[in-house]
C-alpha cells in the first residue's frame, strides 16, 4: 500500500517529531512531574500554616496553664520594672536640674501639661 501524503491526513504543517516533543510536556513550559511536586509542596505549606494557626489560637488543651508564670519569670519582670522606673526617675531628675540651672530644658515646663513657656 502506498504511503499517503501528509497533506491528505491533515498534518500538512506538523511532523511526528513536533508531536512527540509537544506531548512530552503536554504543552506546558515545565514537565507535569514538576507541576505535581509543586502542588504537593504547596499543600504541605498550607497544612503547616493551618497547624501553626491552630496551635496559636485553637489549642485549648493547656487552657488551665495559660498565663501561669514561673517564679523566675516574675522575678525577672520585677527587675525590669525596677530598672525602667529608675531610668525614668534619673531622666526626670536630670531635667529638673537643668531647669534649675537655666540649661537647655529651662523653657519647657512639664507641670503645665507639656506646654512650651518660652
**Residue 22 and residue 61: Cα distance in Å, rounded?**
55
pLDDT score for 57 = 83
Instruction: Categorise residue 74: left if φ over 0, alpha if ψ from -120 to 50, beta otherwise.
Output: alpha
Q: What is the average pLDDT value for the chain, to the nearest integer?
A: 76
- Which of 9-13, 46-50, 66-70, 112-116 shows the lowest per-residue confidence on average (mean pLDDT)? 112-116
pLDDT score for 55 = 84
pLDDT score for 28 = 80
Other CB atoms within 10 A of residue 63 CB: 8
Amino acid at each position: 500500500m502506498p504511503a499517503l501524503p501528509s497533506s491528505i491526513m491533515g498534518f500538512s504543517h506538523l511532523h511526528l517529531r513536533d508531536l512527540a516533543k509537544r506531548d512530552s510536556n503536554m504543552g506546558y513550559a515545565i514537565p507535569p512531574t514538576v507541576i505535581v511536586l509543586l502542588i504537593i509542596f504547596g499543600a504541605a505549606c498550607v497544612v503547616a500554616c493551618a497547624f501553626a494557626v491552630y496551635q496559636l489560637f485553637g489549642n485549648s488543651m493547656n487552657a488551665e496553664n495559660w498565663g501561669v508564670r514561673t517564679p523566675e519569670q516574675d522575678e525577672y519582670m520585677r527587675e525590669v520594672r525596677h530598672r525602667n522606673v529608675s531610668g525614668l526617675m534619673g531622666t526626670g531628675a536630670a531635667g529638673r536640674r537643668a531647669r534649675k540651672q537655666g540649661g537647655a530644658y529651662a523653657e519647657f515646663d512639664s507641670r503645665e501639661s507639656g506646654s512650651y513657656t518660652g
